[in-house]
Structure 1
Amino acid sequence: MRKLNIMLGAMLLASTAHAQGVSAPVEPGVWMKGDLHLHSRHSKDTTNNSVGKIIHFAEDEGFDFLGITDHDNHVDGDTAHHTWADPEWRSGRIVLLYAAEWTTERGHVNVFSSHPYDQKLLRSMSDARDVKLIPLRKGLGVHMSANHPTNKDHYGFSFDMVDSIEVWNSSNWAKNPPALLVWDDMLKSGRMIAARGGSDSHHGWPDKPEDRGPLSGERMANYVGTPTTWVYAARRDRQGVVDALTHGHGSISANPRDPRVEFYADLDGDGKIDAMMGDNLRADGKPVTFRIRLSNATIPWAQYQVRVVRDGETFATLPVNASEPEATFTDTPPLGKRSYYRLEVTGPQADYPAVPMAAGRSDTMVALSNPVYFNYDPSF
């Protein structure tokens, strides 16, 4: 029998090292929030969504990073001379990733990088077989992420090619549950693939308030931060964001005012954190204490339900409230067998005044965590 021990109380909330492998000493870092799927006027299917509007909005709302991912096929792969070279692509407050949406006949892939990369070369390889694309990704030194894997432009490449999956696309949660099934299948296969979100927003706001009138549903309900991706970065720069995203050191919330779910593991019950979501540990046949925290909870009366998913199945459901946003449970990961644990949080949606209809479209899904892994082979 699996022993479940639910406790609410004070926790040591530090984080762990960023290497995938066995548990490592705790290292300092910083939580950062952002959006990793956005389109500006350099994508032909947008309205007035200029680079400057996106960045100024994000600055005003306190975001820390952005990936403006214009369609590379709209500019014939020349993103480096469009989005990145746009005079408005600058900020003293937000980390701006070199990014684009690789838009192919076999699906869409977001590319994130801390440095400029050869987007035209990648575009020229759109029809290449996966066996050639995997070394190309490594040669470019970029992070690749499978976009909306089960939607209209579904992902059709090998999941060995990507570092992460967009499991939460836009504020319309109803279209995302199939993506979670795909993600769980990939995790059960032994792949350590991180989860991320992205608003996939294509439409900006009119410059003048008097022109805002009856705006389209997307502009009112889906814009920067719906959903919000959180990362725990070793440093507050481009490489820090990309590394944290790659290693799964982060989670997703419906909007920036919903709780950020944090997930940690204490191997020996000494009260010290040995791993955080995204880390891979060796099971030793002894019980592990898992620690959950909902940070940034802005609704003081809120009651949340945390679903613990073990290897794709429900392991437990824990009640957590905003005034005591912490819980623990214990389980014994099996020896010599891969296993993973991740979290789904449901409850009331926080208002996001800058995008007033967003909360109504996310149903009760509030947040998702990346997994804590056991006995995975990081080289797989």
Structure 2
Amino acid sequence: MKDIKITIDSPDIVRWPETDFRVCVSISNTAKDHQDIFIKEIGIWAGGVILGSAAVGRKLPSIAEGVAVARTLIEKPYYQKKKLLRFLNNSICSFTFDINLKAVKPDLSYGDNFKLVATVSVIKDGKEERLDVSREVVYYQALQKLPGWVAGDPHVHTRYSDALPWCTVKRQALACKKAGFDWVIITDHDDLLDPIAYARERLQCRAAEKMFDIAVLLGEEVTTTGGDVLVYGAGRYISRWEGSSQKTGQELIDELRFSKGVCFLAHPFRCDIFGDHRWKEWHVSGYTGLEILNGRCSEQKALEAWDWLAWERDDWKETGEQRWVGIGGSDAHHLFGIGRKFTFVFTDGSKSHSSIINALRSGYAVASNGPLVDFTVKGKHLGETVTLHQGERIFLAVRWLQGQRLDRLRVVMNGRAILEIDDITFHNSNSIQIPITIQDPGFIRIEAEEGNKVAYTNPIFFT
């Protein structure tokens, strides 16, 4: 019906499931003959992005059919309707709908937005017709965090790697935003970049950052003779080549130290159908840490190596000069890998690039695929050092998210689990004081389990 114009006005980005939002649907009669048009009812439904155009530009004989179109991408469609029973004569009328996002429940495993569809039932010249108009809305999850903490993915690839061509910086940044992250580090493979492509990608990161209000940092994944290294904060393109020779792990680490960058060993025990990506040069020194959680491989061996580096390795055990930070990343080469593994960092709420890099450097971080747990010892935080005496009895002040039901809390001292507490969330509390006795200098870290989700804090060291 050409004489009817329908528009939808709503926020472009909404936070799921915490934010309700208002949708305004306007209907105007543009008929030149001043003929009245009878508006019978108006409805609006919210659901996943429709594959094809099944619900747009055709009649919807029933509410049920309109809902059924969207069922492939949402768990619970949402529908409102209002009976109007009024004439519209060369004028505009507007109607508002308050939509509860908890009722929408978009399927967050998909990388698309959800769709609002306004359906208007009109009668003209005795004939009833349903008209539809739609628009997409970007949603993102409300990932819970303790005050001052921000969450992000430090290992994400785009089409500049061997990723799918539609995995642009913009799409990956949006996927991270929708996963509830505050920041992301783009880490494309160095052999598929060059200084020009790196500069172009930096501009794309800045554009995505402004568009989605998420910190988008640019790093790299550089392949050395020892294996793959995640590089952050270098400020320039880093190549694996030194002349005609491939750099060793130590050569890359030394180069980054000069550039004031940080580096982490990526998936140090990954070996699969895509190749052997295990780290081979464990004698190197000066790197920041290692990826203990990776979205494409198991973490058990990486955890064992992390503890060995921090305690069992004799050349570092006596000096205590080297502390390795553990992080988690998805290693996503497509949209659907985002959110598998990630890292919480404490920045006092800041999303500046420098504060995120500094938190990764210092170890004020938690590798996770869901829960968040933090602890202090005598006021010292993750990554810091506290002076204790042999035989001294101390208390670990542990806290977690309010309402988070932890199944198990494990205290690891010097690479060995010394205490496990099951069903930790009792008396509706989100904190506990755990007494332990110090035997030898070393470190303490905490592991938390929530169903099949885990969190690994970085250690607090003691001398």
- Name the amino acid aligned to 1:372: I
Measure, in 2, the Cα distance between the counterparts of 1:99 and 1:179. Answer: 22
Match of 2:214 in 1: 94
Instruction: After superposition, give the CA deviation of every residue in 1:209-237 in whole Å (9 maximum; x if it has no partner).
Output: xxxxxxxxxx3xx32x2212000015431
Which amino acid is 1:248 matched to? G
Give the structure 1 partner of residue 259 of structure 2: 140
Partner Cα separation in structure 2 for residue 87 and residue 311 of structure 1: 40
Q: Which runs of 4+ in 1 moved over 6 A?
A: none
| Corresponding position: 1:310 with 2:416 | no
Any unmatched runs of 5+ in structure 2? Answer: 1-146, 272-276, 317-321
TM (norm. structure 2) is 0.59
| 1:107 match | 227
What is the one-letter code of the residue matched to 2:326? Answer: A
Which letter does structure 2 place at the counterpart of 1:154? Answer: R
1:164 is aligned, of 279, 289, 299, to 289
Partner of 2:300: 177
1:318–1:327 Cα contact (<8 Å) kept: no
**Aligned residue identity for 1:179:** A
Matched letter for residue 278 of structure 2: H
How far 1:340 moved relative to its partner?
0.8
**1:233 corresponds to which residue?**
347
- Larger proportion of strand: 2
2:457 counterpart residue number? 369
One-letter identity of the residue aligned with 1:261: V
Pair 1:278 & 2:278 matched: no
The answer to whether the 8 A contact 1:146-1:164 is kept is: yes
> Any gaps of 5 or more consecutive residues in structure 1?
1-28, 205-218, 267-273, 349-363, 376-380
- Structure of higher RCO (CA pairs closer than 8 Å, 6+ residues apart): 1
In structure 1, how many angstroms separate the alpha carbons of the residues matched to 2:402 and 2:165? 33
The 5-angstrom pairing of residues 210-359 of structure 1 reads 219=336, 222-223=337-338, 225-234=339-348, 235-254=350-369, 258-266=370-378, 274-285=379-390, 286-295=392-401, 297=403, 302-319=405-422, 320-321=424-425, 323-334=428-439, 337-348=440-451
Aligned-partner Cα distance in 1 for 2:413–2:459: 9
| TM-score, scaled to structure 1 | 0.71
Matched pairs, number? 296
Aligned residue for 1:214? Answer: none
1:33-65 CA-to-partner distances (Å, cap 9, x unmatched) read 000101001112445311111112222333111
Change (3 A) 1:240 1:57: same
Matched, 1:193 2:324: yes
Q: How far 1:345 sits from its partner (Å)?
A: 1.3
Q: Evaluate the alpha carbon distance shift between residue 132 and residue 100 of structure 1 in structure 2; reply closer, same or farther with a 3 A threshold.
A: closer
CA contact (8 A) 2:153 2:329 kept: yes
Q: Does 1:66 align with 2:184?
A: yes
Whole-angstrom distance in 2 between the partners of 1:199 and 1:229: 10
Alpha-carbon distance in structure 2 between the residues aligned to 1:129 and 1:101: 14
Distance of aligned partners of 1:131 and 1:347 in 2 relative to their CA distance in 1, 3 Å threshold:
closer
Does the residue aligned with 1:49 lie in a helix, a strand or coil? coil
Which of these two proteins has the greater Rg computed from alpha carbons? 2
